[in-house]
Amino acid sequence: MVLAHEGLGLTTQILRFAERLAEEGFTVVAPDFFFRTGGPRDEDWWTSINEMTNDEVRDDLRHAIAALRGLGATSIGITGFCLGGRISYCGAKWAGDLGLSAAVSFYGDYATEIDELQCPAVLLFAGKDEYISRESVEAVREYHGDIVHVYPDNGHAFMRDGDPSFEPVAAADAWARLTHFFGERLAPA
């Protein structure tokens, strides 16, 4: 599984999530999408985000997927949060080219990039997201229908343990959705 990091970069929360996925039996790679700009910068992470291009993201995903294939993976999923949610969504759009089998996107902002997905996906959003408008979420739901699930009473980062927005009930439900979805679609490595 490819785990795409949030806008803050490779945080300890992302590493903990990778460990949780590994405990479920998934082989996980968490690439640093900010390596070209020197890694995450606490004082100015928007610079790293804004300097990323879709071509670079696609290339980084190709390398991450090749690493997983080198470890024996035969089916590969992608998941991620915030920026990583957007990357996961893009991965689902590019799945045919990249060889991805499934995607789960957490609160990614991609309403302006809506397109057909080339692999099964689950798209999770917060109903009270401070960063993604309700109109954007509704546009995604209108296009993608039943694969969209909104946690109506939660804010952005409801899955991010240690964050003030963390919501254990929604996080537990989202975790169950993710593990069930990937468990049905990804063969063990």
Looking at residue 175, its pLDDT comes to: 98
Domain 2-185, CATH homologous superfamily name and number: Alpha/Beta hydrolase fold, catalytic domain (3.40.50.1820)
Per-residue pLDDT of the chain (189 residues), as tens digits, is: 999 999 999 989 999 999 999 999 999 999 999 998 887 666 677 888 888 999 999 999 999 999 999 999 999 999 999 999 999 999 999 999 999 999 999 999 999 999 999 999 999 999 999 999 999 999 999 999 999 999 999 999 999 988 888 999 999 999 999 999 999 999 654
CA 26, CA 1: separation in Å to the nearest integer? 6
Question: Do 66 and 76 form a contact (C-beta atoms < 8 A)?
Answer: no
pLDDT at 103: 98
Q: Where exactly are the structural domains of the chain?
A: 2-185
Output the pLDDT for position 46: 82
Number of separate helices (H) and strands (E) present in the chain: 7, 5
